[in-house]
Structure 1
Amino acid sequence: MLGIATVLMLSALDQTVIGNALPSITADLQGFDLYAWVATGYLLASVVTIPIFGRLGDAYGRKPFVMLAAAVFTVASAACAAAPTMLVLVLARAAQGIGGGMMIGTAFACIPELFPDTVRRLRWQMLLSAMFSIVNAFGPTLGGILTQYYGWRSVFYLNLPLGVLALWLVWRFLPRFRPPRDGRSKVDWLGAALIAIVLSTLQVAVQSMSRAGLDLAAGALLALCLAACVALVAWERIAVAPLLPAMLFQDAKLRTLFVLAVLAGAIMFILLFYMPVLFQGVYGYSPKDAGLLITPLVLCITLGAIVNGRIVTRVKRPSRLVRFGFAMLLLASLGLLTAGGRAPFAVLLALMFIAGVGFGFIYLNLTVFTQALAPRSHVGIATAMSQSLRLVGGMLGTAAVAAIVGAFYARGVDHAFRARGWGAATRFFADPKVLFPGAGATSAAPQAPAGLGAAADHAVLASPPSGAMLALARDALSHALWLGFVLTALLALLGLWQVGRLASFSLNAAPARAPNGD
């Protein structure tokens, strides 16, 4: 169990510790256009591999894939730490995502094999969930401290000793269960490939449209995405072991829960990956201080889940707790919209607290409701699908905000600078990386960017105070992120509307089921 816990800790830590390092990474590797891909590349690989290795674990046993997951994740972490360019980092993060998906798809499934007794199994599940949440809580602060004092590469080097320890513990102590080879456990490789095509083409198309509008390339990507969607639906209806079982989508309440998982995942990852941009790029906080601000977001997920767990079985309509969670997310989003780029530290801390409590009332209930409503033979698949759809929501949400920030920040800087006769400086501030602490833009007047060799252009850059330029650029970034928070508010509103479809649901009326369908 210690080995499994260490494996899952690697996955949990990597989801949160990277957020505060991203601004420093983009400032160092010069690649803000690939900012979202550092997150979504990991998520895309995880979404596809979670169900695949869940199936392979059913067929060949879990232990080999838990060990392989730890090994892949550790090697990929070393590649991330040594990445010379942003593109190499994105590819290494995708490899990390494969390892992370293998971890989630296999490590959790070891529990019912180790503990057939339901009571003991539930205790271990709760312990692992608590550990997962605690690691998530301290991830942002740890990432900020490591980035500020030891550089962003230390965030990835941290995984190396943990990965080696997890690999040794699993190899030494985890028993291997060899399931009978009856030919029923097959992997839907074509379905996995179609899912990857759908998600990757959609993300690339969204980012392409943010830069060049709906051009021929973006149109072709959207057409390919639509064709892959049609093929995916048709194939999953006839596949022997589909990754997306049609039975799970026939229940209206389960469909609603899946939609809510996508919405919650989108809001969660938008906040995790773009609040550091707000705190460091707009407010000018250090990575350590930004980590302190993010900590309540993930720490209060545990707090909200504890309170929720105490009362969920005592209320007549537990769906109201999910509604309360989305209401808290809406309140936090509206608070960020109102605050703009001038809120006090304490107000930002309170908004992160509110959002974290909201997630605590959403995530646990979505899992419990899914397990209660799914057919007994599909409880494990339904739970895995709920987890995967959170990642899908996170991937699409971060891609959408990346498109919004990329488009509106550049337009805002260009408009503000040209209105003051500083048009030549727009090239220097075209990438928000210059606004992050340590990027070197805050200490003196900006140097003339490449391609502005004329003496007149250099004079335009050198004559205005650098503080005035930085203030305008930060305002442009703040306005672009403001639109991202508009998106989170709309998603929270949509979640509130969707929860209404669960109004008649009651846990007391649902039969008890084991968490993994055992």
Structure 2
Amino acid sequence: MVAPDQSPPLAQKHEVDAYAARVEDAGDTGHSDSIHSDTPLSPPKLTPRRFMACTAMAFAWTSGQMPPYLWGAIPPIIYGDIGGTDRWVWFITANLICLAAICPFVGALSDILGRRYVVIMGSLFIIVGQIVCTTAHTMNVFICGMALSGVGAGINELTAIAGTAELAPTSQRGIYVAALIMTILPWCPSVLWAQLIAANSGWRYVGVMIIVYTAVGLLVAVFFYFPPPRSVTSTLSRKEVVQRIDFVGGLTSVAGITLVVAAILWGGYTYSWKSVHVIAPLLIGVFTFAAFVCWEIWSAKYPMIPKNFGKAPRTLSILLLISFISGANFFSVLMLWPTQAFNVYGHDPVAVGLRGLPFGLGVMLGCVITLGLMSRLRGRGIRWLLTVASCVMTAGCGALAAADLDNEKIVYPILLIAGLGVGGIVVPTSVITTIITPDEIIATMTSLTLSIRVIGGAIGYAIYYNILVQKLTPLLIARVSGAMVASGVTDADTIEAAIGLTASSLIKPILALPGIDGNVTKWDAVVIAGQSAYADAYQWVYYCSIAFGGVSVLASLFVEDIAQFMDDHIAVII
């Protein structure tokens, strides 16, 4: 850790001073790292130093996305090796919760100290977390590694968005962040890469790839990313910096959300909904989160949620709601579709990987299109951009309920449409937040938006997963047992084993069960019965997504235009 008054490199200081002089000549008396001018100024050119700073942000952005994207594509392969069929869902949930948990602390610290040291710390967390995952021999250890990676992902994702946004003229933030989003393009086939690596080299090499990539990004940040200190730190000591972090708010919010998510995941699956194991964490979680709200309103000296809600408080509040909804649909489709492609349409690694492409490409294109139009229109019509994106998201996610054994090719354009809608909301809301937020709390508000989106993802994923399990269990029992009996297998223990293996997506061992005895015809009948059960169960998840999407559509109608905030002022000069 370094003192908050550390100076940037000399060449950078000259550049900042030169630009500040231009601002003063134009009649602005602002400081170099937060430029506000009523006189139009030509933004600084994309110098090699600025380009490498943007490259560091691109590495931070993509390295934070990789663990859930890649590992989320191969859960059956992982728990088929190290066990944990009853708890694997927690490696996704733990990653999302830890991502959301760290964001408020990083946002405040980043606004106070600057971006450089927090992005380095984020990359180190991802590397350590992936080392734990790669060397894990039990699911509990793997979950711990994903939790550590979630901490790093939260740091890197919000730093990348906020850091890129403050490097850009306000009117061009959409374009700059769209370019940042485009850097995820090589990882859009994440399902394909993970499936191929796991099939040809072993699933642990997925973690090796993430470690190497993140290490390269870490080196780029160390040698090329030197943003100037934030202006709010000029009179603060290290002790005062720490005192401005809302630890109580962060801990109570995370504890409350974790308990609620745990109750949703356990309810009706691990324990009965009437069980104390479900009711207790649910009630304690709700009361803990209520305590967090009371603390933020009446007791926190430096609250996690700033009392100054920016230049358009109504729009900002609505954007947070839309972020929550989009997070629920984004992470749910992102994590559930690879398993659906695996369980309904077959286990071939290449085919499973290709089935994951349309949604990933759709999300990226939706982000780029919406951000590009936002910059092109200079903030006018933002209400209709978000409304259209919400409608497309709702229609696309809802239409996925039509997926069946016999219409695989029809599902791909639907996935693309769903991705376009989700992408049109998931990142643009964060960018709009930076536009209507004072420069001094850009990272704080970006972290709040990201936290709410990821919390929405964790809660949405828990709800959808619970719905899937509730619908799938009776269908599997009826259809797999029927197929086993039709194949001449009547032993109850063998039928129960076949149902359990199908529920865990581990279909190859069914070949060795007594009564099947390597008979491919009988095995095919059992597998097809399981596929039909999965197809009918997944549709209920997408029906539920329509309700979430409807709320997003209604909320988007109340967003105000932001044209008055789309000027050429730049928050940070590098």
User: Is the TM-score greater than 0.5?
Assistant: yes
Q: 2:561 maps to which residue?
A: 506
CA RMSD for the aligned pairs? 3.2
Cα separation, partners in 2 of 1:511 and 1:66, compared to 1, 3 Å: closer
Cα separation, partners in 2 of 1:309 and 1:121, compared to 1, 3 Å: closer
Q: Structure 1: 5+ residue runs without aligned partners?
A: 449-457
Which of 363, 366, 378 in structure 2 is aligned with 1:301? 363
Matched, 1:330 2:394: yes
The aligned amino acid for 1:42 is N
Report if the CA contact (8 A) 2:177-2:371 is conserved: no
Offset at residue 140 of structure 1 (A): 2.9
Identity of aligned residues (%): 18
Which of 50, 57, 81 in structure 1 is aligned with 2:103? 50
In the aligned structure 1, how far is the partner of 2:439 from the partner of 2:280? 42
Cα separation, partners in 2 of 1:434 and 1:380, compared to 1, 3 Å: closer
| CA deviation vs aligned residue, 1:112-162 (integer Å, no higher than 9, x gap) | 78x58768987754432321x424423233223222322222211102222
| CA deviation vs aligned residue, 1:299-354 (integer Å, no higher than 9, x gap) | 2233233333444454963322222222222332333212233323x322212211
Cα separation, partners in 2 of 1:316 and 1:410, compared to 1, 3 Å: same
Report if the CA contact (8 A) 2:327-2:426 is conserved: no
Matched, 1:174 2:225: yes
Report if the CA contact (8 A) 1:383-1:516 is conserved: no
Q: 1:251 maps to which residue?
A: 313
Report if the CA contact (8 A) 1:141-1:288 is conserved: yes
Which of 73, 78, 81 in structure 1 is aligned with 2:131? 78
Matched, 1:403 2:460: no
SS in 2 for 1:210: coil
Offset at residue 255 of structure 1 (A): 2.1
Which of 135, 139, 152 in structure 1 is aligned with 2:203? 152
Q: TM-score normalised to the size of structure 2?
A: 0.78
| CA deviation vs aligned residue, 1:495-516 (integer Å, no higher than 9, x gap) | 22222223xx223344548686
Offset at residue 258 of structure 1 (A): 1.0
| CA deviation vs aligned residue, 1:45-67 (integer Å, no higher than 9, x gap) | 11111221222234444333322
| CA deviation vs aligned residue, 1:243-270 (integer Å, no higher than 9, x gap) | 2234439933322211111111111111
- Aligned positions, number: 500
Cα separation, partners in 2 of 1:479 and 1:461, compared to 1, 3 Å: farther
Cα separation, partners in 2 of 1:67 and 1:304, compared to 1, 3 Å: closer
Which of 435, 447, 470 in structure 1 is aligned with 2:513? 447
Q: 2:266 maps to which residue?
A: 208
In the aligned structure 2, how far is the partner of 1:338 from the partner of 1:408? 16
Counterparts of residues 331-346 of structure 1 (less than 5 Å): 331-344=395-408, 346=409
In the aligned structure 1, how far is the partner of 2:368 from the partner of 2:149? 30
Cα separation, partners in 2 of 1:463 and 1:70, compared to 1, 3 Å: closer
Cα separation, partners in 2 of 1:434 and 1:203, compared to 1, 3 Å: closer
In the aligned structure 1, how far is the partner of 2:372 from the partner of 2:128? 41
Offset at residue 374 of structure 1 (A): 4.2
SS in 1 for 2:88: helix
Cα separation, partners in 2 of 1:144 and 1:459, compared to 1, 3 Å: closer
In the aligned structure 2, how far is the partner of 1:254 from the partner of 1:118? 17
| CA deviation vs aligned residue, 1:416-473 (integer Å, no higher than 9, x gap) | 455675543124322546535xx5246x2x525xxxxxxxxx7999999233322222
Q: 1:140 maps to which residue?
A: 191
Cα separation, partners in 2 of 1:120 and 1:247, compared to 1, 3 Å: closer
In the aligned structure 2, how far is the partner of 1:140 from the partner of 1:419? 33
In the aligned structure 2, how far is the partner of 1:353 from the partner of 1:267? 14
Report if the CA contact (8 A) 2:181-2:367 is conserved: no
Which of 268, 277, 280 in structure 1 is aligned with 2:339? 277
Q: 1:231 maps to which residue?
A: 291
Q: TM-score normalised to the size of structure 1?
A: 0.86
